[in-house]
A and B are shown apart, each in its own frame.
Chain A
């Protein structure tokens, strides 16, 4: 039992850090570049995607033995689309402002490649508990990275974070950060940072192993 728990945690952490969908797998680039102009957008988009990802992973995993192989893509789309519709209607009802600023990106979660990739490569092959952990890990990994990205973009693009003024009054907002090129540049710079941190951690680990041996 302890062993199984261990793999569930590992699956969760794999999605959150090791195979982070944004910085390592480079999946879901469309919302990553499109909506990350404000921190609240980033977190809203991330959580909406996480909900859909967790639910679709769970249901696809449960139904994986029933769905015929030849029609699996349409079947996945139906499952994913139902959850996206739920999120869309929920946000329209309870978070109308966020829903308005995310616009068509919420319905577009249906074709988000993170969700498809996880359905095809994970949920269709693994049990429901594992798939749940994978969906949660991947979803939160996506949320964390696009929130970070949108915090940086909002800070430079508007001088605020979550709408609170951070930069001094005299700061002139860097408008390119609110446009797609700013997203590309920020993403590239953050990937440099993430890779550098990974390299340092890897070196430390190797050094520790050597010291132990």
Chain B
């Protein structure tokens, strides 16, 4: 007897009532503390950039879908998440057209041209950041000092400052005059240091990340294996220097990247084993770029590179059918 009326589709088959919209709202909520912290730390310019980025992303998605006569999916909040993440990757005080150009690039070129939500092969916000970083490097690396650090300083020092990563890089290579005591752990945790606007306040980011893991919005495997790999690599190469390792973990874009950007659903592997490999790859690349390449920070490039490897990892780690025999060459 032949069975008819059966649709054969690839997994996952189990459906839950959780919608994309619900998940994206959870992510927005988890990102909120870091956003609030950035406005406290950098003042009004941070708020301007966040607003410009989110509005551009939502508007770009809406206009593109109207123009192409597609179903308008702005209501799923994914454009808002992209906008927030993009804004968090821009230094406060950058001109307003930076988040606008980035938002249009992220939504139209990276997301919609490849088929919209779920079909993009790279994280839209990160790709846009990379494009902005390469195109207008001078603007993208002009990190302003936080309001608290700038107080009591005049001139250039009050406008821009080196990120803690620059100092830590000197410590790592053993340059003269560099010392761990120049970088305060507490300042790093609270975000009282120079950097792009959303990455500085580590407490807010960790809080948001843990919330997402507890709510099962994201899987713990990617952030844990990514942060863990960076920690192990720094411990091994610095001769178990705990102070340096802790500071490296808490500086740059690692926390923002590990919790919010590497865990993007459509650009990270679907299998558990694959996620561990993906996170470890991100961590390893980040370490290599930070320690040996010419850029001080490599979080976005590391994640983008692993985004491209995701189909390969998925293929490697795809579960075998029950009863399938491994072929012996």
Chain B hits for A179, CB < 8 A: 134
Q: Of A175, A177, A185, A189, which one neighbours B137 at CB under 8 angstroms?
A: A175
Judge whether A174 is part of the interface by a CB distance below 8 angstroms.
yes
**How many of chain B's residues touch chain A, expressed as a range?**
under 10
Majority secondary structure, B binding face:
helix
Which residues of chain B in 92-137 are interfacial with respect to chain A, using CB atoms and an 8 Å cutoff? 109, 113, 131, 134-137
Contact A174 B136 (CB under 8 A): yes
In the assembled complex, the Cα of A176 lies from the Cα of B131 at a distance in Å of 7
In the assembled complex, the Cα of A179 lies from the Cα of B113 at a distance in Å of 22
B27 to chain A, nearest CB (A): 28
Judge whether A24 is part of the interface by a CB distance below 8 angstroms.
no
Chain B hits for A172, CB < 8 A: 136, 139
Contact B113 A181 (CB under 8 A): no
Contact B135 A175 (CB under 8 A): yes
In the assembled complex, the Cα of A177 lies from the Cα of B136 at a distance in Å of 11
Judge whether A73 is part of the interface by a CB distance below 8 angstroms.
no
In the assembled complex, the Cα of A189 lies from the Cα of B137 at a distance in Å of 24
In the assembled complex, the Cα of A174 lies from the Cα of B134 at a distance in Å of 8
Closest to A175 in B: B135
Most buried by B among A172, A177, A181, A185: A172
Judge whether A201 is part of the interface by a CB distance below 8 angstroms.
no
Judge whether A108 is part of the interface by a CB distance below 8 angstroms.
no
In the assembled complex, the Cα of A179 lies from the Cα of B139 at a distance in Å of 18
In the assembled complex, the Cα of A141 lies from the Cα of B137 at a distance in Å of 36
B235 to chain A, nearest CB (A): 35
In the assembled complex, the Cα of A10 lies from the Cα of B262 at a distance in Å of 52
Closest to B136 in A: A172
B-contact 0/1 string along A152-190, CB 8 Å cutoff = 000000000000000000001011110101000100010
B-contact 0/1 string along A179-212, CB 8 Å cutoff = 1010001000100100000000000000000000
B135 to chain A, nearest CB (A): 4
Most buried by A among B134, B135, B136, B137: B135
Chain A hits for B131, CB < 8 A: 176, 181
A109 to chain B, nearest CB (A): 29
In the assembled complex, the Cα of A19 lies from the Cα of B62 at a distance in Å of 36
Contact B113 A174 (CB under 8 A): no
Contact A176 B135 (CB under 8 A): yes
Chain A hits for B109, CB < 8 A: 185, 189
In the assembled complex, the Cα of A177 lies from the Cα of B135 at a distance in Å of 8
In the assembled complex, the Cα of A112 lies from the Cα of B110 at a distance in Å of 31
A110 to chain B, nearest CB (A): 32
Chain A hits for B136, CB < 8 A: 172, 174-175
Chain A hits for B139, CB < 8 A: 172
In the assembled complex, the Cα of A172 lies from the Cα of B136 at a distance in Å of 8
Contact B113 A192 (CB under 8 A): yes
In the assembled complex, the Cα of A8 lies from the Cα of B213 at a distance in Å of 68
Closest to B132 in A: A176
In the assembled complex, the Cα of A193 lies from the Cα of B180 at a distance in Å of 54
Closest to A173 in B: B135
A171 to chain B, nearest CB (A): 10
B-contact 0/1 string along A53-72, CB 8 Å cutoff = 00000000000000000000
A167 to chain B, nearest CB (A): 13
B122 to chain A, nearest CB (A): 12
In the assembled complex, the Cα of A97 lies from the Cα of B113 at a distance in Å of 39
In the assembled complex, the Cα of A186 lies from the Cα of B139 at a distance in Å of 23
B140 to chain A, nearest CB (A): 11
Chain B hits for A176, CB < 8 A: 131, 134-135
The contact sample of 11 A-B pairs, CB cut-off 8 A, is: A172-B139, A174-B135, A175-B134, A175-B135, A175-B136, A176-B131, A176-B134, A176-B135, A179-B134, A181-B131, A185-B109
Residues of A near any B CB (own CB < 8 A): 172, 174-177, 179, 181, 185, 189, 192
Residues of B near any A CB (own CB < 8 A): 109, 113, 131, 134-137, 139
List 12 additional A-B contacts (Cβ < 8 Å) besides A175-B134, A177-B135, A181-B131.
A172-B136, A174-B135, A174-B136, A175-B136, A175-B137, A176-B134, A176-B135, A179-B134, A181-B134, A185-B109, A189-B109, A192-B113
